[in-house]
Structure 1
């Protein structure tokens, strides 16, 4: 199995990158590698790797722990402070018998004794018995399409290590929302309970929809006469077809709101759906269409550039 790449390397940013730089890098890579756009056989694995890296580096606390503990940060108990860990790690290497641990080098079995390190942090000497220790909470990313996030439902996921779980996704989950699965995290010791698994939802880019919070945006192509005269136009939403009323004199860029047709909200009002007008013209005109457009041009006093 190939070693996991550093998350900063995956996103192509430096370790001192700020949140905006990380987000820009993520969006650029998603547009290039999303499986709906990129049909290369390796694009899906690349997309998952990018999404995992972003889920860790976009959260300040998770990023802090990743910087301290590397890829094994989810295995380190949450109450272990990275600064204390770094001091203990340096002390563990001072005896000269063990290889000094390096940042991100925590396989626990390659020369670093976890019990000795933790013992040194809290004043212990050598090995000691800690008693039952509850399992650590773990995190994993769950990428959903807009339709899956809208409708919810059952989903089978595969976790690192090949473990498969059936997950019940509630309707209307939003980007970054956490779904807690009790007892599915790290194993406890000496009979202590397991930790929880936190699934962080990520809504994948969509060819038609753009999700902002609980609001959904989509383009609405209109013919010139529909925009000029007004019309009732069918529009596809994740919840099914809806009708939007186009007022006469509508121009490109106008947003037409369908109240309550955005993402569902189990605890309150749903989001809205916004149809953003784009006026389209025929690529090729028939003789009759050309004649009528020329007649309109001759009689109309409308100046779209506002010149007097």
Structure 2
């Protein structure tokens, strides 16, 4: 996926006002409209212009795009920075129909969010729009439940038509057992209502931070557990770290590399809870000293073992 420099496409500086963006679009749309343009690549230019304008004309989309940073070059291989959208607050309903008409780059950034376009409002009392944001939590927060302080950034336009971010902080209760992709709703914390109508809600989409030990698959937790060759061959009773503390695990004799042992009900809490899986990783000790090398030579003599026998060699 390649990076799209929307400012370059529209011939604008990154500090351009919203009025500058509208003027640039009107000028370039006349130049590249396929019905009147004599440019050889008018259709492609007009499509790229429409995508750039779709983003930069909208305060929320523009602010989200700006969060990617200014160091990317047009056409550069692009991958969104980790957590680039954390705490970024936007309005409207989740999902966007625009992504089907534009590039993969646009879909990656805006296709899964609820970025809205401004619409006309009547003077009738009306509930404010829901706000949406993404937060990242630790696995332990879901396992035990927690209260976390989060920072949110809401894009606004100042009197000069320039995009600014308004920041606020909230304390959020993380419910026990929440999973990636689920949502937390904070009533009345969304956009203000119209005509004395009530405020909308704030909908937080939950994602998990990478964990140094565990992997999460749905409600199940996986741990790659190093064991020694003798523990695998002879069996052993060992301590295993879990998010709920250490547990005793019996490794059966003649366990193999990649073997899975299941601890039922020790995954993400819920009804039913997930399971905890231990994936055995047999680790060979290094042979650095003469005594250690002699020990390996003794094993070689003690076992009539060819691991490549099934390959005919």
TM-score tier (shorter): 0.5 to 0.7
Corresponding residue for residue 193 of structure 1: 198
Corresponding residue for residue 97 of structure 2: 64
Corresponding residue for residue 272 of structure 1: 275
User: Over residues 242-298 of structure 1, what are the superposed CA-to-partner deviations in whole Å (9 max), with x where a residue is unaligned?
Assistant: 122111111111111111111111xx1211111111111112344333323212211
1:152-301 pair list within 5 angstroms:
152-160=145-153, 161-265=166-270, 268-301=271-304
User: Over residues 111-160 of structure 1, what are the superposed CA-to-partner deviations in whole Å (9 max), with x where a residue is unaligned?
Assistant: xxx43xx6xxxxxxxxxx44011111111111011222222211111111
Corresponding residue for residue 82 of structure 2: 47
TM-score by length of 1: 0.63
Per-residue deviation, 1:50: 5.0
Check conservation: 1:74, 1:137, Cα contact below 8 A.
Answer: no
Instruction: For 1:280 and 1:138, locate their aligned partners in 2 and report how far apart those are by CA, in whole Å.
Output: 49
Instruction: For 2:239 and 2:168, locate their aligned partners in 1 and report how far apart those are by CA, in whole Å.
Output: 44
1:131–1:74 distance in 2 versus 1, CA, 3 Å: farther
More strand, by proportion: 2
1:112-131 pair list within 5 angstroms:
114-115=119-120, 129-131=122-124
Check conservation: 1:149, 1:203, Cα contact below 8 A.
Answer: no
Instruction: For 2:235 and 2:283, locate their aligned partners in 1 and report how far apart those are by CA, in whole Å.
Output: 15
Instruction: For 1:7 and 1:66, locate their aligned partners in 2 and report how far apart those are by CA, in whole Å.
Output: 18
Instruction: For 2:281 and 2:188, locate their aligned partners in 1 and report how far apart those are by CA, in whole Å.
Output: 50
Instruction: For 2:66 and 2:245, locate their aligned partners in 1 and report how far apart those are by CA, in whole Å.
Output: 38
Structure with more contact order per residue of length (Cα contacts < 8 Å, sep ≥ 6) = 2
User: Over residues 75-128 of structure 1, what are the superposed CA-to-partner deviations in whole Å (9 max), with x where a residue is unaligned?
Assistant: 85xxxxxxxxxxxxxxxxxxxxxxxxxxxxx5x6xxxxx43xx6xxxxxxxxxx
- Give yes or no for the alignment of 1:4 onto 2:33: no
Unpaired segments of 5 or more residues in structure 1?
15-24, 30-45, 77-105, 109-113, 119-128
User: Over residues 152-200 of structure 1, what are the superposed CA-to-partner deviations in whole Å (9 max), with x where a residue is unaligned?
Assistant: 2111111112221111111121001101111111111122111111111
Unpaired segments of 5 or more residues in structure 2?
1-13, 16-61, 102-108, 154-165
Give secondary structure in 1 for the equivalent of 2:82.
helix
Give secondary structure in 2 for the equivalent of 1:47.
coil
Instruction: For 2:260 and 2:187, locate their aligned partners in 1 and report how far apart those are by CA, in whole Å.
Output: 42
Runs of 4+ residues over 4 Å off in structure 1: 7-10, 50-53, 65-68, 73-76
Per-residue deviation, 1:208: 1.3
Check conservation: 1:74, 1:136, Cα contact below 8 A.
Answer: no
Give secondary structure in 2 for the equivalent of 1:191.
coil
TM-score by length of 2: 0.62
1:7–1:271 distance in 2 versus 1, CA, 3 Å: farther
Further displaced range: 276-285 or 170-179: 276-285
Cα root mean square deviation, aligned: 3.5
